[in-house]
Structure 1
Amino acid sequence: MLKGKSIVVTGAGGGIGRAIALVAAAEGACVVVNDIGAALDGSGSDEGPAHRVAAEIHQAGGQAVADTSSVSEADGAEAMVAAAIKAFGRIDGVVNNAGVLRDGFFHKMPAEHLDQVLKVHLYGSFNVSRAAAPHFKEQGSGAFVHMTSTSGLIGNLAQANYSAAKLGVVGLSKSIALDMQKFGVRSNCIAPFAWSRMISSIKAETDDQKERVARLKQMTPDKVATMVAYLLSDAAREVNGQIFSVRNNEIFLFSQPRPIRSVHRGEGWTVSDIAEHAIPALKADFYPLEVSADIFSWDPV
């Protein structure tokens, strides 16, 4: 499905990114395996993970090069796109998967934890996409796949920075889709459910928490990777600006914000009118304060 295509996968040294790189290569793509080898909180660096995954692809008969540039810097993004063109002569797809976590309750969160998470998830997605965009425009084709999260789409506790970044990625993807559709370029999002380093930090102290972690461990990264490979392929040429989720063997299409109800008053609204009439009329359609686990509450199958 991806024969002859050149794909950049960020954060591909392990977990979901590694699975995406391996599946893309198995489908015929040439892959730039990008990973700086940082810890989950973004500290440190290690060239080993990217090179090991590239070696795995080579051993399986595929083509890959390792890249250890940082997505959080524009120069790093340019370098990984340049690596694809140097090694494979072109670039056809970008998977923005790299991420870090700095969880904490909002009232305790230092500004630097917000900045760090935004730099990797949101700025990183912008940087790599922006570096690839001129090449996509020139050749009249290309596909972006961005990783969002139900933490942003629905909500989760103690993840204000991560949630803001991941919902920002959704807006970025939609804008890319709108701006570049005339050049034959597509941009879509996936909210993945899969056991990986990014979610291995989930607390598992209570019986309910342990049960949730056990369910998550059933959801392997390869399930997400096959959906990514499809979105990168020409078979998905009519899929653009969408938000998907993959949860084990289930694929979901997410809704996108649209008005759901309105109230009108010809003479306008006073503060008391809003309190007495507008909000009571709208309240039945308020969204409850739920977290992702409240919505996806059944066992994966």
Structure 2
Amino acid sequence: MPELDFDGAVAVVTGGGHGLGRAYAGELGRRGARVLVNDLDAEAARSAARDIADAGGVAVAETSSVADPAGGEAIIAAAVDAFGRVDVLINNAGVGRPKDFGDVGMDDVHLSLSVHLLGAYHLIVPAWRHMTAQGGGSIVNTSSSVGLFGQKRSAVYASAKMGVVGLTRVLAAEGAPLGIRVNAIAPVASSRMAADVYGKLDPKLDPARVAAVVLALAHRDCPVTGEVVSAGGGRLARILIATTDGYFSPDLTVEEAAAALPSVVAGETAVRVPTCAMDEIDLIRQCFPDLDGFPMPLR
């Protein structure tokens, strides 16, 4: 199959000085993108940019924080000043503070939200303006299986990462007529943040295998938008947010609901995959025969 190139594209990678972000930035540079490498660690950002340049690519380093709106504006402005446009935005910057919920303080909450969820907003808002004006672009956000499926000692992190899923879904719908694709990655890779979480699996979790999926999502020819893709160790898979057919009674009572709940959550085989909230609401409409010809309008 032909190699995917990013010739002429400008890519912004946050948290690009270490781990996954560095893998993304390096591969983008190798494939012809001009890369802005953002990282709070100035030396790491400069080192990653030098590696790209030494390999024949073009890159600049930038050290603003994604945790505040001014930082997000500065990062995107630096890319536009250096290269004239922004075609790819990879929101990768992250921070981890695993704690039992009883030990969580509001400083933990504010830090995680400001980096993971608000940090995505801080970059997307200015990038969206440029992508809209130039006729399109690609955004890859970073979610996590921790947010989608849960994990002890990760309430704050999970909250932020699930918020990224909702943001991704909505922006994909709004971005489609503008030529802007928005997806999210749920990465599994050896990293400083993961530490020894993966045990004996860790050596098989090369960040390059996640970078392969991120670049596929970011490429101008990718037809996918609004998806959350799990990636790690060479495996990639679609993560679904779905609903079962459930239980229906037109005069549902508290007692009926209590009796039905165990079977409703027991893993029915009939699974629906709504494309948006109105699609899920339409499953209620389908329970009423008199509304058979009146599907919920998608928004």
Q: Compute the TM-score of the two structures, normalised by the length of structure 2.
A: 0.85
Residue segments in structure 2 that go unaligned for 5+ positions in a row: 269-299
Deviation at 1:201, TM superposition (A): 5.7
Superposed, which structure 2 residues align to 1:103-142 within 5 Å? 103-142=98-137
Counterpart CA distance in 2 for 1:181 and 1:13 is 31
Give the structure 2 partner of residue 291 of structure 1.
none
Give the structure 2 partner of residue 27 of structure 1.
31
Amino acid at match of 2:175: M
Counterpart CA distance in 1 for 2:163 and 2:249 is 34
Q: Is residue 267 of structure 2 the alignment partner of residue 272 of structure 1?
A: no
- The number of residues matched between the two structures is 264
Give the structure 2 partner of residue 213 of structure 1.
199
Contact 1:81 1:132 in 2 (8 A): yes
Amino acid at match of 2:115: V
Residues 116 and 262 of structure 1, relative CA distance in 2, 3 Å threshold: same
Contact 1:194 1:217 in 2 (8 A): no
Contact 2:15 2:94 in 1 (8 A): yes
Deviation at 1:214, TM superposition (A): 2.1
* 1:50-82 C-alpha deviation (Å, 9 max, x unpaired): 011111111111000000000011111111111
Counterpart CA distance in 2 for 1:89 and 1:221 is 29
RCO higher in structure (CA 8 A, sep ≥6): 1
Q: Is residue 238 of structure 2 the alignment partner of residue 259 of structure 1?
A: no
1:227 to 194, 213, 230: 213
Deviation at 1:22, TM superposition (A): 0.1
Secondary structure of 2:236's match? strand
Give the structure 1 partner of residue 288 of structure 2.
none
Q: Is residue 16 of structure 2 the alignment partner of residue 12 of structure 1?
A: yes
Contact 1:149 1:190 in 2 (8 A): yes
Counterpart CA distance in 1 for 2:155 and 2:263 is 30
Secondary structure of 2:74's match? helix
Deviation at 1:281, TM superposition (A): 3.6
Identity %: 37
Task: Quote the RMSD (CA, aligned, Å).
Answer: 1.3
Counterpart CA distance in 2 for 1:76 and 1:283 is 44
Give the structure 2 partner of residue 68 of structure 1.
63
